[in-house]
Amino acid sequence: MLFDALFLQLGYNASLVAIGAGFLGIAAGVTGTFLYLRKQALLSDAISHATLPGVGLAFVLMALVGGSGRFLPGLLLGAALSAGIGLLCVSALTRRTRLSEDSAIGAVLSVFFGFGIVILTVIQTMSTGRQAGLESFLLGSTAGMLFNDAVVIAAGGALTLLAVLLFRRPMGLVAFDPEYAAARGFNVARIDLVIMTLALAVTVVGLKIVGLILVVAMLIIPPVAARFWSDRMEVVALLSGLFGGLSGWAGAAISATAPALPTGPIIVLVCFGLFVLSLFLAPGRGLLAALTRHLRFQRRVHLRQGLLALAQGQPIYERLTLRLLRRAGLARADGVATDEGRARAAKALRDEKRWELVRSDPDFAAAALSYDGLAGIETVLTVDQIAEIDNRIGAPREVTS
């Protein structure tokens, strides 16, 4: 059943929704990357909530002039206009007054949303009797999606993607270092505006499928997940688009398999699942990688300290150290060194002595910087240098214990 849905075998409507959601996810993921790197992820929250009055007013307007009122491009145009006004309000409040950006975002999103609800209640009482079903824009609804709607969504997503492709260099520059971008002659304010307009476009396109409360997730979660996997902006943007597209497509497919699985929330939860996977599994920044790094480091420290203790004939009480030494075949269960252990211990102690000299001699200042108590001296100094140090220390002696 799920496989049928994933490979678009579950009927016309389900296929339309899956394709549309996939396109939307790709566009949202790629666009969201720049928003996230610019540290303005939550701006999308203001954008999405500010679409509601526009949707309502567009409906009223179209109904008044005798149209059906549910004409999707008209509604989306209204949404885009009012979201644009919301964006202008946020930037005016941040620039012209002393309010910080988060207050401006919160104020705009709550006020616009409240005003939108006022308009929705007006529509509910309109005499036309045509129940608008505009509530579906809150949480998205894919049940009655038409071919034209899917085309609007796919085309909008594709256009957004194209714009991102065109503006990726300046947008990346501004996201990482606005001052440098300004010094290079880029108009930072205008590029910021481009980023926001693209986010706005994705939001408006996504209204129909995931709804205005959850479309934010499509802009925020994929880039955050993708950021775990790479430090290169292009890779992050591509991965983010991949995650977004995957969750849109898989989410829509899953929701088509059963009646009580609303599309928007399922897409967001699939997205969140990808985020959790990234959080744990990503190499480098992921939790598991960090944990193994930490454990490996811990083992090296314990082993080194254990060897030094063996070399100086001190008893070892620390359990982990003892276990590590025994597992490496360097010591017996009672803490007495094996032959190999004695050899390694002697070398460790001798290295320590060598390091002592390196760190006290200004000639070796550069090499002394890489001393961390763990690195073998032969990885830092040449054979000749070590020989010279050994000359000063004297010949090796046998470990007596």
Partner 1 sequence: MSGAEFVPLSLPPLLIGILAAVACALPGNFLVLRKQALIGDAISHVVLPGIVVAFLVTGTVGAGPMMLGAMGSSVVAVGLIEAIRRLGRIEPGAAMGVTFTAMFAAGVLLLEQSDTSSVHLDVEHALYGNLESLIWLDAVGWQSLLDPVALAGLPPELPRIGLTCLFVIAFTSILWRPLKISTFDEGFAATAGMPTTLIGLALVIVAALTAVAAFDAVGSIIVIAMFICPPAAARLMTNRLETQIGWSVVFAVLSAALGYVLAGYGPLWLGRDNAVSAAGMIATVSGAILALAALFGPCRTRTGAPAS
Binding site for partner 1 (CB under 8 A): 36, 39-42, 44-45, 92-93, 96-100, 102-107, 109-118, 120-122, 125, 135, 138-139, 213-214, 216-217, 220-221, 223-224, 227-228, 260-262, 264-266, 268-269, 271-272, 275, 279, 285, 287
Pick between residue 227 and residue 342 the one whose CB is nearest to partner 1. Answer: 227
Pick between residue 189 and residue 343 the one whose CB is nearest to partner 1. Answer: 189
Q: Which of 401, 354, 400, 398 is nearest to 376 (CA)?
A: 354
Q: How far is the CB of 329 from partner 1 (least distance, A)?
A: 36
Pick between residue 48 and residue 160 the one whose CB is nearest to partner 1. Answer: 48
Q: How far is the CB of 398 from partner 1 (least distance, A)?
A: 49
Pick between residue 284 and residue 315 the one whose CB is nearest to partner 1. Answer: 284
Kindly provide the residue ranges of all beta strands, DSSP E only, lying in 167-302, ordered along the sequence.
none
Pick between residue 118 and residue 387 the one whose CB is nearest to partner 1. Answer: 118
Q: Say which residues have a Cβ less than 8 Å from residue 46's Cβ, sequence separation at least 6.
A: 86, 87, 90, 104, 105, 106, 108, 109, 112
Torsion angle in degrees (nearest 10) through CA of 292, 297, 299, 303: 160
The tokens describing 251, both together, are 């989410």
Q: How far is the CB of 338 from partner 1 (least distance, A)?
A: 41
Q: How far is the CB of 253 from partner 1 (least distance, A)?
A: 16
Secondary structure, 3-state, 81-121? HHHHHHHHHHHHHHHHCCCCHHHHHHHHHHHHHHHHHHHHH
Specify the residue for token string 């705009």. 108
* Residue 123: C-alpha distances to residues 119, 323, 336 (Å): 6, 74, 86
Pick between residue 15 and residue 247 the one whose CB is nearest to partner 1. Answer: 247
Q: How far is the CB of 103 from partner 1 (least distance, A)?
A: 4
Burial, 97: exposed, middle or buried (Cβ in 10 Å; 0-12, 13-18, 19+)?
exposed
Pick between residue 272 and residue 371 the one whose CB is nearest to partner 1. Answer: 272
Q: How far is the CB of 312 from partner 1 (least distance, A)?
A: 39
- Which phi and psi angles does 359 have, rounded to 5°? -75, -20
Q: How far is the CB of 324 from partner 1 (least distance, A)?
A: 27
Helix 287-311, helix 319-327: angle, nearest 10: 90
Q: How far is the CB of 290 from partner 1 (least distance, A)?
A: 8
Specify the residue for token string 């939108």. 116
Which residues sit opposite 331 in a β-bridge? 337
Q: Do the beta carbons of residue 132 and residue 70 sit within 8 Å?
A: yes
Which residues sit opposite 337 in a β-bridge? 331
Q: Which of 283, 258, 255, 279 is nearest to 269 (CA)?
A: 255
Pick between residue 25 and residue 116 the one whose CB is nearest to partner 1. Answer: 116
Q: How far is the CB of 286 from partner 1 (least distance, A)?
A: 9
Q: How far is the CB of 64 from partner 1 (least distance, A)?
A: 14
Pick between residue 227 and residue 344 the one whose CB is nearest to partner 1. Answer: 227
Quote the DSSP letter at residue 66: T
What is the spatial distance between Cα 177 and Cα 194, in angstroms, rounded to a whole number? 16
Q: Do the beta carbons of residue 64 and residue 242 sit within 8 Å?
A: no
- The SS3 assignment for 214 reads coil
Pick between residue 40 and residue 51 the one whose CB is nearest to partner 1. Answer: 40
